[in-house]
A and B are shown apart, each in its own frame.
Chain A
Amino acid sequence: MSQTEIKASSATLDRAAPYAFKKTMKPSTIIRWTLLFMGGILMIMPIVYLLSTSFKWSHEIYNLQIIPDEPTLDNYSFVLEDGRFYNWFFNSLIVAVSTTVSAVIFDSLVGYTLCKFKFKGKTFVFIAILSTLMIPTEMLIIPWYTMAVEFGWINSYWGIMFPGMMTAFGTFLMKQFFESVPDEFLEAARIDGLNEFQIWWSVAMPMVTPALSALAIFIFLGNWTAFIWPLIVTNDPQLYTLPVGLTTFSVEQSVEWELIMTGAALATIPTLIVFLVFQRYIIRGVVMTGLKG
């Protein structure tokens, strides 16, 4: 799919298709809308029950009511009391932000180099990087683990982060997007006496900011919810990320479902807020990465 098509399709994404703009309100349109709306309500029902249960007393969780009879914040104060959730939240934030910054910078640097420079071995490097996309993470986990043990990276932020510092997917994506940056701009900057690093950073990068933010959203979300690798590389509860911490916490609580739901709600609420605020950008980002990838 070409650049312009993607721009067009993501620009019109907030509305229905143009051919839906007929003013006639046919009964079929009303039925379609109603069914879609009910389906949408059904889709978020699990999350509604998650939030609702986190405000219920333990004797009320058997109740099917969404609004609790006597709402309580006790679950939250119990879960947050020992400070572990703050700790895990902070760890997840550090890990996800650092990985995202690193991957976005390096992926666009490599994508730019492979797109705009001419040198021997370029195709080889590109194909080599692309070929790593076929290797599932699970295959690398055991060697990563032995590497982490050997270098003492177990129970450290670096240990959680190092596998994701660059991504082949992002490199491929950014290479595609840099194709749309005209060479004349780079040439003009070269004549103005900028060095190649400055050209990349201050001329080319600003021209692909929508792509950069799309990639950043995708990588951040992936790292924020990452589970198997943080589970393996950490065994000190101080260094757990939010998903790993949530697993341990839930296993501990075993049958205290209102507390487990509160923990799960604490892990869910931040992403919900982020989504509601940046909805348009997130959906556009998903479309851009999805269609290019």
Chain B
Amino acid sequence: MNLYRRLSIKQKQVVWAWAFLALPVLFYVVIRFYPTFGSVLLSFQEWNLLGSRTWIGLDNYTLLFNDPVFWKVFNNTFIYLLLGTPVSLLISFIIAYNLDKVNFLHATIRALYFIPFMTSAVAMAWLWRWFYQPVPVGLFNNFLSSAGIPQLPFLKSTFSALPSVLAPAIWAGLGFQIIIFMAGLRAIPQSYYEAAQIDGVGPWTVLKEITIPLLKPTIVFLVVFSSIGFLRIFDHVFNMTTNDPGGPLNSTKPMVLMIYDTAFNAFDMGYAAAQTVVLFTILLLVSLLQLWIMRERT
């Protein structure tokens, strides 16, 4: 205590700062950094969780790149991304753009769009799984048959299974994107619109020349945020295909499900770790690429 009193105010500040940071630094080292390096090291080893770990060099990676399932999964993951991000952003922008101009019952309509975002993915995955069941159980096919349209296979066909899994994920995420888009729209200074109005510019030109360019930070954020979400899709796929994990012929299997299966069903820990390293690399590259593309376009 005497020692502490003799410190200058600045030195006391340093002591306090590190006292505040001690536990968090320990947390980040033990729960974040150590496991990160642990995964990278493990990806060069073979380990079934019980026996001892053996170094096998790049074997996990060569095995992975020669595994046809991996390429199928890699493909699927990108289809989730390339379908999910543009579709969800387009829909949510159209809704946000129009909702922004509507005053009557504004908050109520906004709530209708936002509610699905508050639900748990597991509950919604089972709900949609019921929708997709064949006649006479499933809601969608019952609608179709009452309208005289032939049934759709949804989750049962290799062609339609992936979009069927993706649909509830897009649906649940729209509310968040709409809210963020609307906040972005509000942040655009009124003076731009007033100037456009004085100049007699049409709504399309206003949208193209004012709204979208000034909305760029919001768009960049949402593109990166939703891309990462779709690349990491798991909850929906897992719950919608529990009877046949990964859908017919692995047609819905994303990378995270492959990682989960390899690690916690096959207990091939090293192989699973190699897959996580690949996933990490993809996420990093996709985010960097998107930030770079978005920066170019000014």
Contact = CB atoms under 8 A, between A and B. Distances in A.
Contacts of A44: 112, 115-116
B39 interface: yes
Nearest to B234: A228
Interface in B103-150: 103-107, 109-116, 118-124, 126-128, 130-131, 133, 136-137, 139, 142-143, 146
A153 B255 CA distance: 27
B129 to A, nearest CB: 8
Interface string A1-41: 10001101110111111111100000001001101110111
A271 B102 contact: no
Contacts of B17: 113, 117, 119, 122
A232 interface: yes
B137 A61 contact: yes
A242 B123 CA distance: 10
Interface stretch (B54-62, B152-160, B271-279): B271-279
Contacts of B136: 62
A16 B108 CA distance: 12
A147 interface: yes
Contacts of B98: 32, 35-36
Q: Is the interface of B mostly helix, strand, loop or mixed?
A: helix
Given A43-B174, A47-B119, A251-B242, A36 B95 contact: yes
Contacts of A136: 228, 232, 276, 279-280, 283
Contact of B180 (A125, A137, A291): A291
Given A106-B27, A286-B180, A290-B176, 20 more contacts: A1-B217, A12-B186, A13-B186, A44-B116, A64-B143, A113-B20, A117-B17, A132-B36, A134-B283, A139-B39, A140-B36, A141-B263, A196-B16, A225-B122, A227-B234, A228-B235, A228-B256, A264-B124, A268-B123, A271-B120
30 contacts: A8-B186, A9-B187, A17-B101, A36-B102, A40-B112, A47-B116, A49-B139, A110-B20, A128-B28, A132-B28, A136-B279, A138-B232, A140-B39, A141-B276, A145-B263, A146-B38, A149-B49, A195-B16, A221-B118, A225-B119, A225-B122, A227-B238, A232-B260, A242-B120, A244-B122, A250-B239, A268-B123, A271-B119, A279-B111, A286-B179
